[in-house]
Structure 1
Amino acid sequence: MTGPTWGTADRRLLIVHAHPDDESIQTAGVIARYLDAGAEVTVVTCTLGEEGEVIGQRWAQLVADGGADQLGGYRILELTRALSILSPSARVLEPHFLGGAGRWRDSGMAGSPAARNPRAFTRAGDEPVELLTDLIVERRPQVVVGYDPAGTYGHPDHVGVHRVSTEAVAAAAERGWSVSKHYWSVSERSAVVDGLAAAVDRVPAGWRMPADGELPSYPDDQITTEIDIRAVYERKVDAMAAHATQITVAPSRREYALSNDILQPIPDAEHFILVRGQAHPEGGRETDLFAGVVDDGSDDAPR
């Protein structure tokens, strides 16, 4: 059996994330929806998330700080399970680690000792850009999704993903493949506010509601694109639950918490800001990441 011929599907989507679980929290609905529609989807993960905290006691000794430092390997399994949940049974998506699994290490939160590790993603220089550029040229996605300049919530690896994806999209254009549309994955403010309001009477024991402004979001008028994920919502929640060392899903299945036990809503749409390419339709929010993509993106996309 031969492998896939990259760049031949009508729609090709490449999504870049920092750690295992980011794909499920931020873009699981989009992954499942476009896989179901027959699109070619590549999910790129840049580290194994070795510096993450662990929820509960079962796997607590896998942590890096004072533990076995085996968490990264276990999170490969969680990512594999999550992508399998999001995939059609006949076409299961496999993880793709930039540079190979373990090439770069989770840099930890800002100011942590992990950032001084020579293998930390934040110390990788231009190599991630070069490798992601190669992948874009090889797989020829019309659409690339990355992060905003703040890296969603300021984690250094998320900020690094913003830099790497932005520079790789530009470099790929110089090498002959111009991505038609480049998006930032973001949270819509009203979706966050409405989700928190709905959850106020069902906060699980030991969790707390976030303080005003504690959860990052963008004003509604800055959102260019809204993807309805209701048809795949349950798979998104199951994919999030597959990252059990990192995520606890509330009994309502409408909220979740990380190891900090701060409640966060799970909206039934995923939101994006278009930063390269032409938004469609004019004057309204897009409802399809591929809106306006005519063919291969190599000739008509802005450079």
Structure 2
Amino acid sequence: MPAAPYRLLLVHAHPDDESIGQGATMAKYVAEGRHVTLVTCTAGEQGEILVPELAHLAADQEDRLGEHRRGEIADAMAALGVTDHRWLGGFGRYRDSGMKWHESGHAIPADDIHDNAFWRADLTEAADHLVEVIREVRPQVLVTYDPFGGYGHPDHIQAHRVAMYAAQLAGVPSHRRDLGEPWVIAKIYWGAMSESRMRAGLRALRDAGDTTSFEGMDPDGWLPPFVTADENLAAAVDATAYIEAKMKALASYPTQITTDGPFFALSNNVGSEALGVEYYRIVSGTQGELGPDGLETDLFAGVPADPA
């Protein structure tokens, strides 16, 4: 078990998801001496490749993108200072399921899914891989996706299911005693995006003449399902001091994220606050001390330090 008195566990589907959603929070907590563990469920083998000279790595060609993204996430973790990164069940145990877009604008499972796709994983088997990690690390806080996986990607949805089920099983004394001593996670959160912050950021981009970043999103109209009404938010971690680390982590994924893409445009045009404050919905546990805006400012608020 890590010696740090405060321990955070994040469960994500593919390399880069963690840096987009909680990269600043991760860097902040590492810098503050809190132990951060990231579990990634697949290597993102089905991802699109934005670098033409690496197109040969694609799933329908050499099928070596997963190994390449393994290197990208290692670089991202170095940028964030995270030293405890794991693959669910070991590298290559579960494969990226892929996805396609539904006409209504959200992701759905692809027509052809690999036999070893994470979407097809046995839920109890996959959860037990995570139970072992939970019982070893003994995190007080868990962060994962909401039930829709943010935007409907099947691997995000499956990661949500695995994380939530594993959190429950890990605390059952009689379940899989061979996986370690039982551990109950004090607080569970789902990552979120503030509606008001997203609208303000989009408005600033549009006012600056940027009509392509976050294409299709309207600062005064439709927003995708990963955007959360402010009334449903429970915590806002201000990690703007670590935005440089987050942007460096994002830049570690050239096959997936371009430096002239929407996240960098948001940061350049709106300022570091746009990506440096990360939001959360509380799922279980009790909110601790609230900040002036009625939200927790620390995911560990109200959680006693573990002297062990």
> Does TM-score exceed 0.5, indicating one fold?
yes
- Counterpart of 1:259? none
Q: What CA distance in whole angstroms lies between the structure 2 residues aligned with 1:53 and 1:164? A: 25
- Counterpart of 1:270? 278
Residues 136, 94 of structure 1: alpha-carbon distance in 2 compared, 3 angstrom cutoff: closer
Q: What CA distance in whole angstroms lies between the structure 1 residues aligned with 2:162 and 2:307? A: 20
- Counterpart of 1:229? 239
C-alpha displacement of 1:281: 2.2
Alignment check: 8 A CA contact 1:225 1:287 kept: yes
| Corresponding residue to 1:16 among 11, 15, 25 | 11
C-alpha displacement of 1:114: 4.2
Aligned CA RMSD, in angstroms, stands at 2.2
Residues 169, 238 of structure 1: alpha-carbon distance in 2 compared, 3 angstrom cutoff: same
- Counterpart of 1:59? 54
Q: What CA distance in whole angstroms lies between the structure 2 residues aligned with 1:48 and 1:81? A: 14
Residues 297, 221 of structure 1: alpha-carbon distance in 2 compared, 3 angstrom cutoff: farther
- Counterpart of 1:285? 295
Residues 94, 178 of structure 1: alpha-carbon distance in 2 compared, 3 angstrom cutoff: closer
Aligned length: 278
Which has the larger displacement, 12-21 or 125-134?
125-134
Q: What are the within-5 Å matches in structure 2 for residues 58-207 of structure 1?
A: 58-65=53-60, 67-87=61-81, 93-109=83-99, 110-115=108-113, 117-125=114-122, 126-175=124-173, 176-200=182-206, 201-203=208-210
Residues 177, 60 of structure 1: alpha-carbon distance in 2 compared, 3 angstrom cutoff: same
Paired residue secondary structure (1:174) = coil
Paired residue secondary structure (2:38) = strand
C-alpha displacement of 1:136: 0.4
Alignment check: 8 A CA contact 1:191 1:267 kept: no
Paired residue secondary structure (2:279) = strand
C-alpha displacement of 1:268: 2.4
Q: Percent identity of the aligned residues?
A: 40
| Corresponding residue to 1:43 among 35, 38, 41 | 38
Alignment check: 8 A CA contact 1:48 1:101 kept: yes
Q: Report the AA paired with residue 122 of structure 1.
A: W
Residues 37, 151 of structure 1: alpha-carbon distance in 2 compared, 3 angstrom cutoff: same
Q: What CA distance in whole angstroms lies between the structure 1 residues aligned with 2:209 and 2:30? A: 33
Alignment check: 8 A CA contact 1:254 1:267 kept: no
TM-score by length of 1: 0.86
C-alpha displacement of 1:207: 5.2
Q: What CA distance in whole angstroms lies between the structure 2 residues aligned with 1:287 and 1:68? A: 45
Q: What CA distance in whole angstroms lies between the structure 1 residues aligned with 2:86 and 2:209? A: 37
- Counterpart of 1:261? none
Please list every run of 5 or more consecutive structure 1 residues that lacks an aligned counterpart in the other structure.
1-5, 257-264, 299-303
C-alpha displacement of 1:167: 0.6
TM-score by length of 2: 0.85
C-alpha displacement of 1:118: 1.5
Q: Does 1:253 align with 2:267?
A: no
Q: Report the AA paired with residue 245 of structure 1.
A: T
Please list every run of 5 or more consecutive structure 2 residues that lacks an aligned counterpart in the other structure.
100-107, 174-181, 268-272
